[in-house]
Structure 1
Amino acid sequence: METWIHAHIAQLLGWLSLPEIGLSTVFIVSFISATLLPLGSEPAVFGLIKLNPELFWAAILVATAGNTLGGMFSWVVGFGAHKAVGHKLHSASDVRALRWLKSLGPKACLLAWLPVVGDPLCAMAGWLKLPLWPCALYMLIGKFLRYLVMTVSLLWIFPSQV
């Protein structure tokens, strides 16, 4: 049984390392990880780049695109929730957080890359009806820088064993 599992894991990793499949996987994982679902895309990006170093920029750009589109999806969910639920807020901290976010405007979406708070931040930008395209631009900048810094750092920490 253990041999069967190892063989299938090796087969899956081999399949995912194919550039045309690996980039699609990075896009999907990056998109999903930018929604409120708990998933991290960094291992997929790093794994693809370790297996295919020539795909460095392609993987960074595909992950950025997927993650930004996922953030925009969260914005749309927040916008829709505001229309469906209305302006009901439950605590003073909710009101303070929304006031802070509204004061920053779309620039707050530059922080959409942060763990834990980044995904809800995109949804709250939609809730507040902050303009989508400026929010998307700031999301894109922050997410691109995150993938770039994270991947370069991981490649420095875990260099290729040539």
Structure 2
Amino acid sequence: KLLDLTIENEIPTIAAVSEDLTLKDPALLTLGIGTHLDPNIAAIRAITEVAQSRATQIHGTREDTTRANLLRQTGYERMKRLNRHWFRSSQKTINLEDMPDRSSDSFKKDIDISMKLLEKSGIKDAYYVNLTRDINIPVVRVIIPQMEVYSVDTSRIGNRLKQKDPIAGSLI
């Protein structure tokens, strides 16, 4: 399922949550998150992360597969309960097409748009580097201090997020 995690800065952030209804393997309860000014790209990034996580667990190529073994000992239903905030039902649904696309045709414009939107969250700093290579695949790496990675480590919740319901997203 897809969840809308977009906050007051209005930059589309989508989570993709995957269950394993056939094998009930807790290592395959995976999560991916994507953020982009174009909500379709944000969703694609989230889904890609989920697919990569699942493939990594299935093929056992990840270094922390010992973590997967611990998850399996914990059990599928218990892991779902522990992570119920990702699996709960939502009363509110939206269509991906209804989310505004604020992207442009250039990194520079997208960064300028993003910085203006981030100011709504009180964020003034972002660091980025253009990693586009000779093969012409456009890539920018962005790091934004104050943006918590709550989905991975719930102890990283910051003041900005403490004031919100951190998993208030809607099913898409």
Give TM-score, length-normalised by structure 2.
0.23
Larger radius of gyration between Structure 1 and Structure 2: 1
Point out the structure with the larger strand share.
Answer: 2
